[in-house]
Amino acid sequence: MISTRIGFAGVGRMGANMARRLKDCGFAIATVFDANAATAQALAKELGCASAKNLQSVTALADVIITVVSDDRAMKQIYTGGLLVGAQGRLFITGATVTPAIHVWVEQQCNAVGADSLEACMASSITQARQGTLYLMCGGKPAAFERARPILEKLGESPRYIGPAGQAAQVKALVNMVMNANTAALAEGLGLGDALGLDLAMLREIFAQTGARSGVLQTDGEDMQNRDHACFFSAAHAAKDSGIALQLAKAHRLRLPLAAATKKQYDRMVKAGLGELDKSGIAELTFKGRRGQGRA
């Protein structure tokens, strides 16, 4: 057993699988916390660790605290809600996709109490979290990255240091912006192919051998065709993350019409009650006869 005690704040599907992976690798998972107490209690029983009653208890029981929450608001809530009480000497690793400014703020808050922090932005999903094959982009002080490296290397094959706090989040925003646009374009291509009466399996094979090839073709193409939208990365998160990129563009007076159009499509999904479908569910808006009816 590795002596470093690890605590988790936020154990939804990503956080829980990261905790399971580290437990399998010999790390001591000391405690877990979630806003949904039942979720934390179930995972704590599975892992044989404490289910923290509050955030202060997470920090008291752990040397390294990994936070995996959904957005800027949730991040601020946990860091002002007791997580930094008695935090001197601790290392906080933030795994959520939030705005770069929040990661800078977290570093400032941690440093003020004598703690270290590192953003570890994840460009992968729940399967990779369980397998330890996450692609991790990290930002913060080099010393914090080196301190976190033994943990990060068990979660991802080659954690990459990007630069100071906020920079990894900038890169992650661009990764998701491009991924979301590719997903929306693929849904339109397959939707139009279906309307033309083309064999979609054949079409996907040709896409894969031509300039239409993309990562989302491999992960989402068949799911779009079969309407299998079991969630690995939700449409609601796609809308949020495209929005982060658009905020960055606005701050630099840059227009991104494709990113804006993509966000509008994912916003449509959320408004239609489809936000918890996988991002592949955007095909429901482009195929004729589906929920979005495929109409312009």
**Residue 75 half-sphere exposure, CB side, CA atoms within 13 Å?**
25
For residue 124, tell me if it sits in a domain.
yes
- Indicate the pLDDT class of residue 294, thresholds 50, 70 and 90: very low
pLDDT of 293 reads 57
In percent, the amount of the chain with pLDDT more than 70 equals 98
Co-location of 19 and 144 in the same domain: yes
- Indicate the pLDDT class of residue 1, thresholds 50, 70 and 90: low
Of the residues 141, 164, 187, the one at which a domain ends: 164
pLDDT at 115 over 80: yes
For residue 290, tell me if it sits in a domain.
no
Of the residues 164, 187, 219, the one at which a domain ends: 164
In percent, the amount of the chain with pLDDT more than 90 equals 93
pLDDT in tens, 227-257: 999 998 899 999 999 999 999 999 999 999 9
pTM, 2 dp: 0.91
pLDDT at 99 over 50: yes
For residue 291, tell me if it sits in a domain.
no
Q: Which two tokens stand for residue 219?
A: 């992960």
Rounded distance, CA 244 to CA 234, Å? Answer: 15
Q: Which two tokens stand for residue 140?
A: 């913060």
Rounded distance, CA 221 to CA 185, Å? Answer: 11
Describe the strand order of the beta sheet including 64-67 as a list of residue ranges.
50-51, 27-33, 2-9, 64-67, 91-94, 116-122, 136-140, 160-163
pLDDT in tens, 41-66: 999 999 999 999 999 999 999 999 99
With 0-12 CB in 10 A as exposed, 13-18 as middle and 19+ as buried, what is 153? Answer: middle
Domain count, the chain: 2
pLDDT of 125 reads 84
For residue 211, what are the domain limits? 169-285
CA terminus-to-terminus distance, the chain: 58
Q: What is the mean pLDDT of the chain?
A: 95
